[in-house]
């Protein structure tokens, strides 16, 4: 397993253990303290446990090297895991939303004041975890780890909403008891919005959508800098987990021999893999410069 995958695996494991501990704390406090927003928060965190487990396992699978059955490697396991986690967020949002509406329509007592202390603790822990995991996801370009990070941020947001709802309920008195449930409903919308955003991103990876133009421009600039490469006719990128499969059509002198074109293709592949760490592998198509005689054509 690479250093990057080891770091990603540690972050996923840390999220898994933290979520498991917080589920017990929030569920107990919510039931004892009569706070449905806190119970809803605990339900969302219980899904976080499974989400972190899925992400952790996906990272293990994605770190495997290519083989005969999967010649492009196992990197797509991350995008698949991100899709599953995103759908779990949407299911959680729907369940919390329905339950919140039911609780709003059902008269009940205000939450206990001590639940506010629990929520402050949860917010600090989850926001810290979000920032740590998100930073690693950006440095490793891990879409599954990023989805796990946003799971932590969603938890922090739902806890913040619950804090406000409980505070309003306690300050306003019996007539404001439903503020706690309205906070849970607001949290459901936040969770759903994050689920949709993450699902769209993972779906783009599974559908082989081109990455941002800046990254494509970086690949093309490095390719044009290889001696012998005249221009880049076509460039396609396919995301495979934290790296990219590059399919590039490069134009060179049409008078090159087949051997020379083959060697130039090898130099291009080696340069891209050396100068751009995100590049997993490169398929090079050598073509003659437009207008040049086409005596030979090499493909590697």
The alpha carbon dihedral of 259, 261, 264, 265 has a sign of negative
User: How does residue 177 score in pLDDT terms, banded at 50, 70 and 90?
Assistant: low
Beta pairing partners, 238: 245
Whose tokens are 């790296």? That residue is 243
CA atoms of 238 and 209, how far apart (whole Å): 7
Overall average pLDDT of the 91-113 stretch: 76
Length in residues, the chain: 300
Pairing of strands 279-288, 231-240: unpaired
pLDDT at 101: 83
Overall average pLDDT of the 272-294 stretch: 81
pLDDT at 44: 67
List pLDDT tens digits, range 213-232. 788 889 999 999 999 999 99
The alpha carbon dihedral of 127, 145, 209, 234 has a sign of positive
Three-class DSSP category at 3? helix
CA atoms of 3 and 19, how far apart (whole Å): 24
pLDDT at 271 over 90: yes
Contacts by 219-226, CB closer than 8 A, 24 or more apart: 219/246, 219/248, 219/272, 219/276, 219/279, 222/271, 222/272, 222/275, 222/276, 223/248, 223/250, 223/268, 223/271, 223/272, 225/271, 226/264, 226/267, 226/268, 226/271
Cβ 170 vs Cβ 110: under 8 Å: yes
24 or 248, higher pLDDT: 248
pLDDT at 296 over 50: no
pLDDT at 295: 40
Three-class DSSP category at 133? helix
163: its two tokens? 């804090």
Q: What percent of the chain has pLDDT over 90?
A: 16
pLDDT at 259 over 90: yes
User: Mean pLDDT score of the chain, rounded to an integer?
Assistant: 80
- Domain 3-206's class? mainly alpha
User: How does residue 36 score in pLDDT terms, banded at 50, 70 and 90?
Assistant: low
pLDDT at 54 over 50: yes
Superfamily of domain 213-288: Cation efflux protein, cytoplasmic domain (3.30.70.1350)
Overall average pLDDT of the 195-207 stretch: 83
Domain ranges of the chain: 3-206, 213-288
pLDDT at 286: 92
pLDDT at 227: 93
| Among candidate residues 198, 159, 205, 173, the one with its CA nearest the CA of residue 39 | 159
pLDDT at 291: 52
Cβ 272 vs Cβ 235: under 8 Å: no
């Amino acid at each position: 397993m690479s250093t990057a995958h080891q770091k990603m695996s540690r972050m996923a494991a840390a999220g898994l253990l933290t979520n498991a501990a917080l589920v017990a704390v929030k569920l107990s406090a919510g039931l004892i303290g009569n706070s449905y927003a806190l119970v809803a928060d605990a339900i969302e965190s219980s899904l976080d446990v499974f989400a972190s487990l899925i992400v952790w396992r996906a990272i293990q699978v994605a770190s495997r090297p290519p083989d005969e059955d999967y010649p492009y490697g196992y990197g797509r396991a991350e995008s698949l895991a991100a899709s599953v986690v995103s759908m779990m967020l949407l299911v959680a949002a729907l369940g919390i939303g329905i339950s919140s509406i039911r609780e709003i329509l059902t008269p009940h007592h205000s939450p206990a004041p001590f639940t506010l202390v629990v929520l402050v603790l949860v917010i600090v822990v989850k926001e810290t975890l979000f920032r740590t995991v998100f930073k690693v996801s950006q440095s490793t370009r891990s879409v599954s780890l990023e989805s796990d990070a946003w799971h932590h941020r969603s938890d922090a947001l739902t806890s913040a909403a619950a804090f406000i709802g409980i505070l309003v309920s306690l300050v306003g008195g019996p007539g404001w008891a439903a503020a706690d449930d309205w906070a849970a409903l607001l949290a459901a919308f936040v969770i759903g919005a994050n689920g949709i955003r993450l699902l769209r991103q993972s779906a783009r990876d599974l559908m082989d959508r081109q990455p941002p133009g800046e990254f494509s421009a970086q690949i093309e600039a490095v390719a044009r800098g290889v001696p012998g490469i005249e221009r880049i006719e076509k460039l396609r990128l396919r995301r495979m987990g934290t790296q990219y499969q590059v399919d590039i059509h490069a134009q060179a002198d049409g008078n090159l021999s087949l051997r020379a074109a083959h060697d130039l293709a090898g130099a291009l592949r080696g340069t891209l893999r050396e100068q751009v760490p995100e590049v997993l592998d490169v398929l090079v198509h050598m073509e003659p410069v437009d207008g040049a005689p086409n005596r030979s054509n090499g493909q590697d």
